[in-house]
Amino acid sequence: MLSGKFPLEDQVILITGGSQGLGKQFAYKYFHETKRTKVIVVSRSDAKLKPVVEEIEAGEDIDDEGVCLHHDTLNEDVINKRRIFYLATDLSDFNAVDDMFNTLIKFKLCPTVILNCVGGSTPKLFKDLTSHEIELGINQNYKSVVTLTHSFLQKYDQLAQFSSDYKCHVVLFSSEVSFFPFIGYGQYAPLKVAMKALISILRQEILAPEFKDKVTLSCVYPGNFKSEGYELEELTKPAITKIIEGPSFPISCDECCNKIIYWLDKGYNDVTTDAVGWLLMAVDMGLNKNNNNSFLYWLQLLIGVLANLIIVPIYMIICKWQINSYFSAANKDKKED
Give me the catalytic one of 121, 174, 175, 294. 174
How distant is the alpha carbon of residue 114 from its chain centre? 10
User: Is there a contact between 268 and 217 (Cβ–Cβ < 8 Å)?
Assistant: no
Q: Buried b vs exposed e over 146-179: b needs ≥16 C-beta within 10 Å?
A: bbbbebbbebbeebbeeeeebebbbbbbbbbbbb
- The Cα–Cα gap between 30 and 300 comes to 32
Active site residue 237: no
Give me the catalytic one of 29, 192, 196, 259. 192
Write phi, then psi, for 12 (nearest 5 degrees). Answer: -115, 110
- The Cα–Cα gap between 179 and 308 comes to 13
How distant is the alpha carbon of residue 336 from its chain centre? 44
Give me the catalytic one of 86, 185, 188, 268. 188
Active site residue 188: yes
- 24, containing H or E segment: helix 21-32
Provide the sign of the torsion angle of the four alpha carbons 92, 94, 96, 102, taken in this order.
positive
Cα(first)–Cα(last) distance of the chain, in Å? 60
User: Is there a contact between 2 and 8 (Cβ–Cβ < 8 Å)?
Assistant: yes
- The Cα–Cα gap between 278 and 176 comes to 9
- The Cα–Cα gap between 198 and 194 comes to 6
Write phi, then psi, for 201 (nearest 5 degrees). Answer: -70, -45
One-letter identity of residue 22:
L
Active site residue 192: yes
SS3 per-residue string spanning 45-64: CHHHHHHHHHHHHCCCCCCC
Cβ-in-10-Å burial (0-12, 13-18, 19+) of 247 comes to: exposed
Q: So which residues are the catalytic ones?
A: 174, 188, 192
